[in-house]
A and B are shown apart, each in its own frame.
Chain A
Amino acid sequence: MKKYLIMALSAATLIGGAVLFADDDERYEKRVYEHSKTNMQTNTPKRALNEFEKTYQKECGSCHMAYQPEFLPKRSWNKMMEGLDNHFEVDATLDPKDRKTILAYLTSNAGDSKYRSKHFSKMSNSVAKDEAPLRISETPYFIKEHRKIPKRLIEQKEVKSIANCTACHTTADKGIYSERAIKIPNYGRWDD
């Protein structure tokens, strides 16, 4: 009889893994930073996602696209992750462990981080040093790039809001925002 209890208890203790955190900032950044590049021919990631990426995709990617961390500076991500109880008027609270994992991932890959991918840093670089916007769509570079798009194309039901990158940038989730990969619903290709 006791056997059942012991079995149940030992199984329970085996459930759940732990993410290890390094104290040393630099070593830590290197370990977190490793962007998943997609093989466009086969449409598969070239390597398995690490724990940080998996958590980010699962938690943040369940309500919206998991935006590339490079799009905002560290100060924006810090502010964002402080206010998850009112995340654009939605409750996006996380358990403390997941919040810590995601914050580490975002800040160590942010637009002003040491190991950022240069390709994406234009957005974050355009932000004034004393500002920390929470919306990528409020960064000056983003505004400049999207200024000519008619409102109706953004507000239509297939897109809903400017925050829905993948609606028009068909490969946004893979980090490809080239003009060739733009296809606006009920409009088509975009020539700038």
Chain B
Amino acid sequence: MKKILTILGLFAVMGLAAPIDGYMQTLAAEAKKADAGFSGFDAKRGEKIFTSEHIGKKGKSISCASCHTGDLKKAGENTFTAKAIEPLSPKANAKRLSDVKNVEKWLRRNFNDVYNREGSALEKGDVLTYIQNY
């Protein structure tokens, strides 16, 4: 019992240190609920989600890479407005994936803009894993 409490306590403290880890765990639990065969997120699947083209909200072909480019360590540009976008990879830009509220906001909006629907827990976890490991 004591051991479990210690582990739980450590998790809680760690979760505060890196909020994104807590969010990933939440997504993993959701993915497991949707599919009992879920065995973890996959950067390879995430890459496909990120780079493949789809008919988006504007009715035109678009991918995540249309704005973020294919190199997540480099700056991108909003394809509609020409506004610069800072690099997405946390290795190139420490601010990335540091604020869960912000991460959730952009996943919601960008899945809608590129896929014309919200992303599933599995898709979100996969694409975040891809970004984290880039």
Return the contact of A8 from the options B13, B80, B82, B105 (Cβ within 8 A): B13
Q: A21–B2 Cα gap in the complex (Å)? A: 46
**Interface stretch (choices B4-12, B28-36, B39-47, B126-134):** B4-12
User: What would 12 A/B residue contacts be, using CB atoms closer than 8 Å?
Assistant: A4-B6, A4-B12, A5-B9, A8-B13, A11-B16, A62-B83, A86-B57, A89-B57, A91-B110, A160-B81, A161-B82, A167-B82
Cβ–Cβ contact B109 & A1, under 8 A: no
Asked if A1 contacts B78 (CB within 8 A), the reply is no
Interface centre among A65, A86, A157, A164 (most CB of B within 10 A): A164
A3 adjacent to B57 (CB under 8 Å) = no
Q: Which residues of A contact B105 (CB under 8 A)?
A: 93-95
* Residue pair B112, A161 in contact (C-beta under 8 Å): no
> Which of B57, B82, B108 is in CB contact (< 8 Å) with A159?
B82
Q: Residue A149 at the B interface, CB < 8 A?
A: no
- A: which residues have CB within 8 A of B? 1-5, 7-9, 11-12, 62-65, 86, 88-95, 157-161, 163-164, 167
* Closest chain B residue, CB of each to CB of A92: B109
Main secondary structure of the interface of A (DSSP, over half): loop
> Are A2 and B5 in contact, with the CB atoms below 8 A?
yes
Which residues of chain B in 38-67 are interfacial with respect to chain A, using CB atoms and an 8 Å cutoff?
Answer: 57-59
Contact of B5 among A1, A86, A89 (CB under 8 A): A1
Kindly state the separation between the CA atoms of A107 and B24 in the bound complex, as whole angstroms. 38
For B5, the closest partner residue in chain A by CB is: A1
Q: In the complex, what's the smallest C-beta–C-beta distance from B78 to chain A, in angstroms? A: 6
Distance of A2 Cα from B3 Cα, bound (Å): 11
* Inter-subunit contact A164/B9 (CB<8 Å): no
Query: Do B57 and A4 touch across chains, with their CB atoms under 8 A apart?
Result: no
Sample of 7 further A-B pairs with CB below 8 A, known A2-B9, A7-B13, A161-B81? A3-B9, A63-B80, A88-B80, A91-B57, A157-B82, A161-B80, A163-B81
Q: Is the CB of B57 within 8 A of A1?
A: no
CB distance from A92 to the nearest CB of B (A): 7
